[in-house]
Structures are given as C-alpha cells and as structure tokens.
Structure 1
Amino acid sequence: MEVYVPLRRIGVILHVAKDGLMVARVNSSKADRLVGLVTMDYSMRRIGVIKDIIGPVNAPYALIKPIKGLNATDYVGKQAYVRDIDYDKVMRR
C-alpha cells in the first residue's frame, strides 16, 4: 500500500556549482523561509537540503546541498519539491 504525500513544487534545478551545491530557481515569494527543508524529486526520493537563498527578492535562487552518493548533475533541468506539510509549517512562521 502506497501512502500519498502531497508535494509542493519549489522550482527547477538550473545547474551544479563548483562546490557541489545545486542551484534552483525558486517560485515562492517567501523563499527565505525554505532554508532547512528537505527537497525531493517527483518520485519522493530525497535530493538534498536547502542551505541558503541567494539573489534578488523578486527572483530568488536556492542552494541545495545534495545527499551523499547522489549524482547532482542527473537532476539539472528537473523540478524540486518539498513536502506540502513542511511547506505549510514554515509559511505560518
């Protein structure tokens, strides 16, 4: 039996920086609250953790630290998600 967990799309992964962090364009206007959330792909596989938000307020980017053993370049061009329940929790802060 599979459990359905709603996901919230946070943005698309654009590239991998030299230090290994993935850079994703964030869709949320309150992106600063996303720091610390676990990111996933559409199949609910963990990708990494949002470590920082950079760029202008109206067009922010998230720096995602990939989990160990993950080939980050495989996720370039793909959407990144967070669990809906986690997203709602941080947006209520």
Structure 2
Amino acid sequence: MQKLGAVVRTAQGLAVVRCSDDDHPDVGTEAVDEQLRSVGRVVDVFGPVSRPYVAVTPDEGVALAPLLGKKLYAR
C-alpha cells in the first residue's frame, strides 16, 4: 500500500489530499483509511510536482467532514 497523505480540506464534494512526497497514485486508484476501509477513488492530481494534491471522490455513504486531518492510503 502507498501512503497518499492527509486530507487538508473538502471542496465541491471532494476530499483534497496533500501528498507526502512527489510519488502520487494514478487517477482511478482506490483510497482507503487507516483501517483499510474504502473512502473513494482518486479523480485528479494537481499542484506542484514536488508535493502534489490529489482529489478523492467519496464512496456512497462516506461523510467528508470526519476525514479532515486523517491520513489516506492508495490500495
């Protein structure tokens, strides 16, 4: 599993994750929390090359607000 980074904000129904380094997942990759529960899928990668941001669209029934500050991982 690859560490995505921490959720820094929510915007327009997406979780915005700041990557830990320049290694980021591909669009379509599943995002999971620390308990390996599916959170959603990566839909966009944007920002600086050294530490990009990743936009994650949540799965059905996943609330975004509790994800703020949480670490997410790519499966």
Cα offset for 1:8? 2.4
Structure whose residues are more often strand by fraction? 2
TM-score, reference length from structure 2:
0.90
Partner of 2:6: 12
Gaps of 5+ in 1: 1-6, 84-93
Runs of 4+ in 1 over 6 A off after TM superposition: none
State the secondary structure of the residue aligned to 1:57.
coil
TM-score, reference length from structure 1:
0.74
Q: Residues 13-54 of structure 1: CA distance to partner in whole angstroms, max 9, x if unpaired?
A: 11110x1110000124232x4211000001111000000001
Partner of 2:52: 60
Task: Give the superposed CA RMSD.
Answer: 1.3
Larger Rg: 1
